[in-house]
Amino acid sequence: MSRRPVRLLAALGLVLLAVSGWRAFTLLPGFGSVPHPYGARAVDATFQHATANAVMSVTLDQRAFDTLGEEIILLGSAIGTVLLLRRMRAEEEESGAQHTYGPEEVFESLRLTGYVLLPVTVLVGLYIVVHGHLSPGGGFQGGVVLATALHLSYLAGDYRTLERLRPLPAFDVAESLGAAAYLSVGLGGLVAGSALLQNVLPQGRLGDLLSAGTVPVLNVAIGVEVASAFVLILAKFLEQALLVREHDVPGDGGSGDGGEG
């Protein structure tokens, strides 16, 4: 198709979209007005299960099966990344020590900030994971904070420390264990005579650390899994960007510096 009919068609589509969108938006209830019937029931069920965070209750208690699907997605994407970015025969890997920068190359304040913030951020991440059922946050958010906390050592200029902090086989295993733990807790619901992922643990009192039954347990499982998945993905990308080189093909006429990027 030449350009002019395509543009006319696009303009027609945009006009139709605008008209129907305007009509749809004016028929919606007002912003922040009457609560949705599903929302009212969801909040009721939240308080029946002594969970202080309604979002966490919906995610891990009422719709826990959907979260299981999301976990599998993250697991699959981490496995796919590790598989696709594995070292091929035509590639070689530099040592991480070449990307460790000392005091003369990195600002002192940057290094100090990185080293001081790392344990603080890990602690904040653990807090977000464990208190998911009480305050905003949860397994996914805390897991991302934990994963990125480790990389503060890389930002401080020390790739070698980052390599030591994240032994990849351990995180491989941790990721699978996290996903398996989630499913095991779900199967516990079946064993207890109820449905899959049913909240069968004692609910406790609203606002306690040990309340809401299975929600904190699932939170921890998701936290482990998400942190490990993100560490794996970032590790593979960092390796590709920093360390992996292609072997020099013999007969190249000798690229002088041996393939250094």
Partner 1 sequence: MSDWTIAVLLAAVAVMAPVVVLTREPSRQALVLSAYGVLLGVLMVALDAPDVALSQIGVGVAVVPLVVVLAIAACNREVERHRRDRENRS
Report phi then psi at 60, rounded to 5: -110, -5
CA geometry: angle 209, 210, 214, nearest 5 deg: 125
User: Strand 244-246 and strand 91-93: pairing?
Assistant: antiparallel
Beta bridge partners of 244: 93
Q: Tally helices (H) and strands (E) across the chain.
A: 10, 2
| For partner 1, the closer CB: 151 or 166 | 151
Residue (119 or 261) nearer to partner 1, CB: 261
Nearer to partner 1, 161 or 189 (CB): 161
Query: Rounded to the nearest whole angstrom, what is the least distance from the CB of residue 237 to partner 1 in the complex?
Result: 4
Least distance in Å: CB of 255 to partner 1? 5
CB of 76 to partner 1, least distance (A): 17
Q: What's the chain's length in residues?
A: 261
C-beta of 12 vs 18, nearer to partner 1: 18
In whole angstroms, give the CA distance from residue 79 to residue 72. Answer: 10
Smallest distance from partner 1 to CB 45, Å: 17
Binding residues for partner 1 (CB under 8 A): 31, 53, 55-56, 128, 136-138, 140-141, 144-145, 147-148, 151, 230, 233-234, 237-238, 240-241, 244, 246, 252-256, 259, 261
Closest separation in Å from C-beta 109 to partner 1: 21
Residue placing its CB nearer to partner 1 in the complex, 87 or 192: 87
- List strand residue ranges (DSSP E) for the chain, in order: 91-93, 244-246
Helix or strand or coil: residue 205? coil
